[in-house]
Structure 1
Amino acid sequence: MIPSDAASSRDPAGDAASDLRLARTVREESGRVVGALARWTGSLDVAEEAVAGAVEAALVQWRAHGVPPRPGAWLMQAARHDALDRLRRDRTYRDKLALIAAAPPGPPAGTELDDRLPLLFGCCHPALSHDAQLALTLRAVCGLTTAQIARATFSAETAVGQRIVRAKRKIGTAGIPLRIPEGAERAPRLDIVLTIVSVMYSEAHLVAGRDAAADRDLADDALWLARVVADALPREPEALGLLALLLFHRARESARAVDGELVLLADQDRTRWDAPFLAEGRSTLDRAARLRRPGRWQLHAAIAACHADAADAASTDWLQVLTLYDMLLAYDASPVVRLNRAVALARIEGPEPALAEVDALEDALARSHLWHAVRASVLRDLGRDDDALAADLRALELTANEAERRLIAARVER
């Protein structure tokens, strides 16, 4: 506790700068530190608690004495000491003391990403439920609090807390290893990891009850994780494919949400798209293609590239988009992919065959506002205005995001 006389002399601006640097350090380093400590101690719980203790210590010490020259190394050392103290107090882990005491204070030079990646694969183990994978990844790898995870995933804090506790317990009792899979095991496990990162990015957009602005921190965390995986596994084309996809999405964000309003792709001001992100997306996709092992994330990225390459909506190469969707079905025939393919089909073959494809997805997507919105658009192109209005009204009922509601309502009122 800071004495009252010291507290009275504190510099609020300095404290704010220190706290901001700490927040950035936690975001960048906590996954690496948790991964290293979990590997050394054999306990994800001990690792997480040690990092939390180190963050609490940093909050006080950095304010009092300034940010250290190497914040990440400071956090690693403080967490390591905290873990040692916890192990000394716990008989169960006393035999682990020699391991962590002998371990170096930080990761070996040049292997900074290694500790995060095994942790990410462990959090995304197929033995865990999808919700548990997402919550545990956000906590252990990204360092989000339970409250932040609850907001990001539209869940109650108690439910998120229970998911995390159960997931960590399962990792311990089932002996789930924190390691990067090798050989034939890697591809399906990597796809789970990439899916979770993609879900993180999607969860940052169109939040229930909010406008069109993204949860920038969560979106940036997802893009950061995609970079971690792609940089650590440069010979995995699907990791590069997901990174390229998120870069294309990120490039469009300033045009996608304007003054809190949602702007559809066809109506976006393409001069607002971020050229460096687009260029990086293209070069990343090219790197993936040179590995000559196509997959679903590369195809998703290639479709995004088609839209990025068009000077305006009218110039979109819809035949190429449809062809890519046809190829994508071999890797991902999910209802959402088929719905997006129907949009491209309408551009090439007309609304009638597209409506047949959309209607075939009713059982799978009848509770999705997107299905009703797409169906309304196709029905309107067929001149079935009353049916289109009914579909839009149903989409409006199912939409929780305020910007989407306003967009659909504007169509209904025309």
Structure 2
Amino acid sequence: MNRKINKIAVLFFIIVVTVPDFSQTVAQEKIFFAARRDSNSIYPLLYMMNVDGSNIHAIKDSIIGYVPRLSRDGKRIAYIGTYSDQIIGPPQVRVMNVDGTNNHVVSLCKHPITGQISPCEDSFSPAWTADGEKIAYDRCNNCEAGGDNFDIYIVNTDTTQGYVQAKVTQSLYSERLYDWSPDGSKLLFRAHYFNNTYDFDGELFLMNTDGTNWKQLTNGIGTIGPRYSPDGATIAFFSNHENKQLEIYLMDTTGVNIRRLTNLNLEPKYATLSWSPDGKKIVFESDFKIFVLDVLSLAVIQIPTNMRESETPEWGNMVVTNVTTSNYQNVNKYFLYQNYPNPFNPETQLKYSLKEDALVTLRLFDILGNEIVTLIHEPKSQGSHTLDFNAGNLSSGVYIYQIKANNFIASKKMIITK
């Protein structure tokens, strides 16, 4: 552990005071969701908030998409977006860091003749492996022609390693992917064509990640949006098999012990749900509002977002940058220090002091004043704070970091050299 030494000379004596700095990787529970803020919003942006609905802010103002899925290590988000301009084009599976940086397409296709690699069209339903190295997703092979023939694919998330993609199913049953088992051994999906008949609602199946060993879990109940519990013991899903009302159900991973959790006549747009990290609650959307269901008590509460439309919520532990905080110092002013080292590659420390508790916003801009990322936007206590910043995804150049805390605003320059 690093130690900070303050030396105070009193007469002929030196008193050495050792003050520990507390450095750790911080995991924060967040709910991610897509939303249209008001009547002027045409496309949904991706937002995050605390689980009580506080501290709502866009991950990055320009990121349009829906169905966010947090990696199990809490560092990256997969979601359904469009082309690089994020506005037009058919759906694609994209991946980014939780701060919105390093945004790229992972649903890639290779032309059968030319070998050219380009983003695939009509790709949906991303699901992470436990180690975060791969994503499974489904893709419509004939949607442009009005069809609904889906297959499931697995792709590596680091596209710098080259094109590595596997087709798991073979266009026989219109398979729609939903989740990857926590132990990484199974894919959970819905099939519409089986036993030589078409089932509009579809039934749930499990299979190995290579597409073998199918196991049917449901029969005649119609399932939508299933997700594994964090411990992998149960599966929650939407179904309308009772009274034609869409409700949330729970079952064992063998397909038995099915029980209904809600009686609300739900009206979700995309019928997606997500478990809390402790497996005790489920977040879901209905009528463009976000709700949390307590799995034990069955109590349901609404999480206010003050948005016109909120949808596709995802609950998880987001891992944030290392933070060092020391409140032993008698801080009597606000101050933003020069980052150290500077210039740097790729890591540096940003330090600031608060003379009182404050809502702190720390942002990074390029030299033209374009915001790159919000590093901090949350309440901080009185004292000195240090943020470990890694600029591995940024190019060389001059950048500006700015802090806002109560009425205090300050900016400084940093230089990245690579």
TM-score by length of 2: 0.24
Higher normalized strand content (fraction of residues): 2
Higher helix proportion (structure 1 or 2): 1
Q: With structure 1 as the length reference, what TM-score do the two structures score?
A: 0.24
Which is bigger in relative contact order (C-alpha 8 A, separation at least 6)? 2
